[in-house]
Structure formats: C-alpha cells, structure tokens
Amino acid sequence: MRNSLGLLLRRGMVGAFSLASLWVPGGPAAAAPVPPDASAARPAAEAESLAFTQRYRALGHGGIVRAANASITCRTPVAPATVSCPAARAGRAVANDGFDMFYTDIDKDPNTYNSSSAEVRLPSGARVSYARLYWGGNLRVGEQKPPKDNGRVLISEPGGQYKEVLADTLVGHRVARGADAFQASADVTRLVRSSGAGAYTVAQVNVAMGHSAAGAWGGWTLMVAYEKESEPLRHLAIWDGFGPLGPDDHQAVRVDDMPFPEGATGRVGLVAYNGDRGRTGDSLTVSDGWGAAVPLGDSANPRDDVLNSTIGEPGGTAAPRTPAYPNTLGYDSDVLDLREGLRRGGDRLDFRLESLRDAAWAGALFVAVDAKR
C-alpha cells in the first residue's frame, strides 16, 4: 500500500456549519499537497448519523448534473466465489464480500493510493450556481483506516492539479454491521464555477482494502447545479444526510412547496453505499402525497434492486469516467427518471429509500423537476 494520509483533523463544534471549502495547491507531480492553515478553517466534527436535510434549493432555468466514480474495486475472488474479477467488474451479479478488494488508482502519482475520474457535462453557456462533493466508504476491511482522515480528500479540475478539500459540515461516521462507514462532503462551488465542464479526478478517499464479510466499498459524487436561461423553469434541490438502510431502517425525504404541472418531467439522483447487485429488496419510491408510492427504476436499475452498484443515468447516458466498470461493487450514484411519479401534478414529493436485505448506507439525493408556471 502506498503512503496513507497523515493529516490529523481537529474536531470542530458539533453542529457548526462553514460554507467555505479549502483548496490548497498540490498536484500529481508534487510531493504532497500543502496542509491547510489550521486557523483558516475548522475541520468538521463527526456524528453517528445525520438526518437528511435540505442543502440547496433554487427555482430557475437550469438543472443539476453529476459526476461520480468508485474508489475501490476487486482484485481476486475469495472462496467459495467462482466469478473472476474481470467478469465481476463487467457486470456480473456478485457482491464485494466475495473478493479481495484493492484501490483504483489512475493518476500514476506515488503520493496517492486511490484516484478515479469522471466528467462533469454542463450545457454550453451554463453558469454553475452550486457544486458539492460527497465522498465516503468503509474504513474496516482487511485493514483498518484511521477515521481522522475521513474529512479530507484531493480533487483536480480539468487540466489542473490536486487541491486539498476539507469537509465543511458534520461527517457521518458509524461502526455497525461489521463495517466502519462514513460520508463527508464539502462546498466546491468556487472551483467548479471557475473550471467548468470536463473530467475531475478525486483521490485519497479514505477507504480500506482487503476482504471481510462486510465487504470493501467507497466512492465520490460531485453534484453541480447550473443556470441556463434557454432551459425550462425547474425546481432544484439537494438533500444529504448519513444513515443505515436495512430491515429496520429507511431514509425519507419530503420536498415541499414545489408546484409542478400535470405531466411534468424530472429526475432524481441518489448516492448510497454497499448495495449489492442481484440481492433484491431495495427500492426508491416517490409519492405526490395523494396516490400510492411509485417504485423508480430503469433498465440498469431494477425497481426491486435499485441499489445494485451502478453509476448510471436514464437511457444509458452517464458521463464518461475512468475506470468505467459497470459493476462498482458497492457504490451507487444513479440518476432516475421521475415522470411516472409526476403524472397528476402537485406541490410536493415524498421519497423513500429502503433496503430489506442489503446492509447499505444512504448519503445524498437531488431533485430537478419542471415548475408550474
């Protein structure tokens, strides 16, 4: 294993929020990113669970796009598994607990031990109004990673060098179900607004490699809200939190005060951890508050197995990423079509994410829905 992160993050006041992110020049060719000035920002504290709360809300002409990738993948199968690692990556219905797992690392920088990239696809002429980076995974597998590094990650913009980013709000971190799971996030609006569309690389996501019954998993998602006058008027919202999904746990999000017309179009995006492909019983449903809840899905995300280790969008139009394994083996960052849940029109949407068999974790959700004029 390459050098692990050595920055000790001081704990901040629980519940304190800072809307500024830190970027400090480093880069793939540098020995290491320069540590931030300790007086410039207070590192985020941790909590075992974070209730889903609204992070961003806007009504305007525009939308939300996202880039995402996994930070770890399989290396070799572990008995009694019979599927090879290449076959698993290519999309076979297998789970991460059947493999010895190792980091994805595309940057050839000796100072990073994991890195992956994905493209932010913004419409021409769009202006970034908000951008947020989410990262997380399992710290306890064959090795135990130190939680002191949960709130730190590296990001490079298209054609740029690595910048250090510190979580600017509470970090979700909980030991349960054989896993040591976390998610952190930071406002990166300034970086994405100045850099625009293109491939972003994220490195040093604090995830553990190896093999365990809980499995190894982790990754990152960059959500970007934008404005463009020629696009439809839409309600845009980003929600985030951190909590387990299982037979006795689910996550619910209600988006109120968002009148949308009958037959509106829209999309919902979700971030979740440790969903296993082929293990049914997990779903994302939506209700307008009047009729029965509608389970969402598409050809890549079955309605009863929506947490199936995919990074996808409707119609198979997901942005390019490196590596681009169809089965991420435990990381979901999906965008699903909402039209089936918008047929009648209304002014609110209730989302429910649950997993009846997988020991999974929920992290974030975004909504972009046509507004009623």
Rounded to whole angstroms, how far apart are CA atoms 40 and 133? 20
What pLDDT score does 214 carry? 93
Asked if 22 and 165 touch (Cβ cutoff 8 Å), the reply is yes
pLDDT digits 0-9 by tens, 233-269: 999 999 999 999 877 788 899 999 999 999 999 999 9
Rounded to whole angstroms, how far apart are CA atoms 192 and 224? 8
What pLDDT score does 372 carry? 85
Cis omega (within 30 of 0) for bond into 320? no
% of the chain beyond a pLDDT of 70: 88
> Mean pLDDT score of the chain, rounded to an integer?
88
Provide mean pLDDT across the span 90-110: 95
Per-residue pLDDT band at 41 (split at 50, 70, 90): low
Rounded to whole angstroms, how far apart are CA atoms 355 and 275? 8
Per-residue pLDDT band at 359 (split at 50, 70, 90): confident
Rounded to whole angstroms, how far apart are CA atoms 127 and 229? 10
For the ranges 184-198, 288-302, 351-365, the maximum mean pLDDT occurs at 184-198
What pLDDT score does 16 carry? 30
What pLDDT score does 357 carry? 76
pTM for the structure as a whole: 0.89
What pLDDT score does 12 carry? 33
Is the model's pLDDT at 23 over the cut of 60?
no
What pLDDT score does 2 carry? 37
Per-residue pLDDT band at 43 (split at 50, 70, 90): low
What pLDDT score does 30 carry? 36
% of the chain beyond a pLDDT of 90: 76
Is the model's pLDDT at 83 over the cut of 80?
yes
Rounded to whole angstroms, how far apart are CA atoms 105 and 108? 7
